Structure 1
Amino acid sequence: MSASANRGRGGAGATVVTSQKVVPGREDDYERWQERVNGAVRDFDGFEGTELYPPEAAEDNQWVVVFRFSDVGRLSAWLRSAKRRELLDEGSDLFEEEPSQEVLSGGQPAQEAVTAVISHKVRPGHEQDFVHWQEKVLRTQQKFRGFMGSELFAPVEGIQDRWVVVFRFDSREHLEQWLESDVRGKLLAEGRDSFAEFDVREIASAFSGWFRFGGGEQAGVPPNWKQAMSVLLALYPTVMVLNLTVAAALTRAGVAGFLGLFIGNVLSVGILTWFLMPLVVNRGLAFWLAPDRPRSRRTDLAGAAVVLACYAVLLVIFSVTA
């Protein structure tokens, strides 16, 4: 994504980001309820996809769900539908407070990244001041390490009266550096004349649970392109070995294919989560993956070259053994 602010004003594509603070101890009930919601929304015209992001910290218990539609009209039909209202009434006791949502009309598809969604209540008559202030914020963000892009979304008439900005960084560490920076604090103070309040939500990385290098939840995770390369490095040989051994044995024993595949997936996830990722990949590639290690373009290229070389070795090995 280019590092520029795109103002979503009804272009192709529409997204709603809903943040829901679940009552402690009701997480399983919430997930079952959310599955019913996901099943219902699939029947609506223009629906394109959904993602559910659990809280990073258990004490937070803030769940974020994203629904994507082909355009704002079809998204609006879902938001105003009787079916959605019925589901919200059913799940009302699952939440500590009223869920909040931001509607994003237009804009670019989200890349794999750590994302912050910030909604602003702009003071009446200060809309242009707010836009100019956001442009200043963007110019400052571009100077911060790991910044990947930003989009500014105007209110959607009849659905939402807040302005929403979405910005992405390549790691949680870099996102937190921006959010906690002194320069951002000064910018917020400057912008207070144009907006009355704002609310920040973070959407986590897809693979973050497999990358821990000490320091707890705030230690950060590697950029997502490194995570994807590393997971593939561990996943490919795991799946191949299981196919050649466990899958073959299950087939000979007459186990149904769907059950054999399930058993293989359970084993591969377990092997990755408790053995290969923490004990092999994270340790072997710590110089390249660990967020607290010094980073340089040379280090990034060297680590990527090592992973690519490992891919090549694995392909050669399995070409003669499979």
Structure 2
Amino acid sequence: MKPYAHRGPGGGVAAVVISSKVREGREVDYRRWQQKINDTMRSFPGFQGSDVYPPIPGEQDVWVVVFRFSSTTELTGWLDSETRRRLLEDVRPLLEKPSELEILAGEPPTREAVTAVISHNVQPGRERDFQRWQDKVRKAQEKFPGFLGFEAFEPVPGVQEHWVVMFRYDTREHLDDWLESGTRRKLLDEGRHYFADFDVRTVKSAFSGWFRFNGETAREPPPNWKQAMSVLLGLYPTVMILNLTVGRAFEAVRLPGYLAMFISNGLSVSILTWLMMPLVNRAFTSWLSPSGGGSPFTNIAGALVMVACMALCIAVFGLITS
């Protein structure tokens, strides 16, 4: 894939961003299908992981899924596979129209970021003008606070028909400042001479699915240090309880260590995702939620309560195991 504007050094990873408009009332079926495709992809060479982002009310009405591979060759192998073709047949009745797909290749971001992926339908014969205009947009973006990087990609015949731009900002607020700025509006007015239409999608933190408030994923996830403390608070008692119960049962039946470890990890992840993290989120909403946990006093007080809860857990398990 050939970039046509500024990007980082070559190599790195490849990703495909897939946008799907799910039929009303079929969201549960789509989630099941998405889990099925995630499970299937784990056996494919080069697969590194995936992130699923549900629609954001009032902002974007599509599901956005990002699949990451270690190289473009391995990603293309998945896209061209018979397994994927069969899965696409299963999902067609759930979608209002075929999914849109953009392939991105390059270095992974070196820090947590909020990413926007924009696909353009460029007017025939105006490709070079579009490239010059896009370079002008990039230079304007670089002057805005929080800008972290920019990559742009030409269409790939038979795989991706649109011109794709991806740019990153350090926070959602800084991304919105650019998207809603007068500078961008003026540039869009100029660019309409070169493209027929465009579509914007946002991709947030890879950990955002673990941080939900009032039943919805946070518009902007908590800072990394809050995420780490929260996961540790949920993970420690989960692992300790499993070790004291399931772990001892495994020892009693002499289950092989590699199999016991796999089952224990599976139970830990399941309990953490569907039980412990929802409890931690509910207890610390005012500290984790960006709307309530921004002041220095709240940050310090919440962190001290977190530390106290961890100390209590250590003391309890210390008494149990002594």
Same fold (TM over 0.5): yes
Query: C-alpha separation between the residues in 1 aligned to 2:124 and 2:315?
Result: 65
Moved more, 109-118 or 17-26: 109-118
| 2:282 aligned residue (265, 273, 278) | 278
Correspondences of 1:91-240 after superposition (within 5 Å): 91-104=91-104, 106-110=105-109, 112-208=112-208, 220-222=219-221, 224-239=223-238
Distance, in Å, in 1 between the alignment partners of 2:279 and 2:35 is 31
TM-aligned CA deviation for residue 28 of structure 1: 2.9
Distance 1:160 1:261 in 2: 38
Matches within 5 A, 1:29-40: 29-40=29-40
Deviates further, 51-60 or 93-102:
51-60
Instruction: Check conservation: 1:13, 1:72, Cα contact below 8 A.
Output: yes
CA distance in 1, matches of 2:176, 2:222: 14
Encode CA deviations 1:289-309: one digit per residue, 9 max, x unaligned: 6357778xxx59x859957x9
CA deviations 1:66-111 (Å, max 9, x no partner) are: 233343344334333444333322321110111111122x311245
CA contact 1:53–1:203 (8 Å) conserved in 2: no
2:7 maps to amino acid: N
2:115·2:203 contact (CA, 8 Å) conserved in 1? yes
**Change beyond 3 A, Cα 1:274–1:115:** same
Does the CA contact (< 8 Å) of 1:211 and 1:282 recur in 2?
no
Q: Secondary structure at the match of 1:151?
A: strand
Partner of 2:16: 16
Query: What is the one-letter code of the residue matched to 1:132?
Result: R
Structure 1 CA distance, aligned partners of 2:11 and 2:123?
25
TM-score, length basis structure 1: 0.71
Is this contact kept in 1: 2:15–2:68, CA < 8 A? yes
Q: Percent identity?
A: 39
Tell me the alpha carbon deviations over residues 152-201 of structure 1, each in whole angstroms, 9 at most, x when there is no partner.
12222442232211122333333333222222212211222222221111
Tell me the C-alpha RMSD between the 2 structures: 4.4
User: Is 1:47 aligned to residue 46 of structure 2?
Assistant: yes
Cα 1:149–1:320 change in 2 (3 A) is same
Q: Is the 8 A contact 2:14 2:71 kept in 1?
A: yes
Which one-letter code corresponds to 1:6 in the other structure? R
Given the superposition, is the C-alpha separation of residues 318 and 261 from structure 1 closer, same or farther in structure 2, using an over 3 Å criterion? farther
| Matching residue of 1:5 | 6
> What is the deviation of 1:270?
5.6
Q: Secondary structure, in 3 states, of the residue corresponding to 2:106? A: coil
Task: Report the AA paired with residue 221 of structure 1.
Answer: E
Contact persistence 2:211–2:277 (CA under 8 A): no
The letter of the residue matching 2:282 is: P
1:84 match = 84
Pick closer, same or farther for the CA change 1:233–1:72 going to 2, 3 Å: closer
Tell me: CA distance 1:274–1:67, structure 2 relative to 1, closer, same or farther (3 Å): closer
2:75 and 2:36 mapped to 1: Cα distance? Answer: 18
* Equivalent-residue separation in structure 1 for 2:84 and 2:210 (angstroms): 35
**Which AA in structure 1 matches 2:52?**
Y
* Matched position secondary structure for 1:178: helix
Read off the aligned partner of 2:189 and give its amino acid letter.
A
Is 1:25 equivalent to 2:25 in the alignment?
A: yes
Structure 1 residues 99 and 65: CA distance shift in structure 2, 3 A: same
Amino acid aligned to 1:67: F
Does the 8 Å contact 1:155/1:161 carry over to 2? Answer: yes
C-alpha separation between the residues in 2 aligned to 1:315 and 1:145? Answer: 41
Structure 2 residues not aligned, in runs of 5+: none
Q: How many pairs were matched up?
A: 305
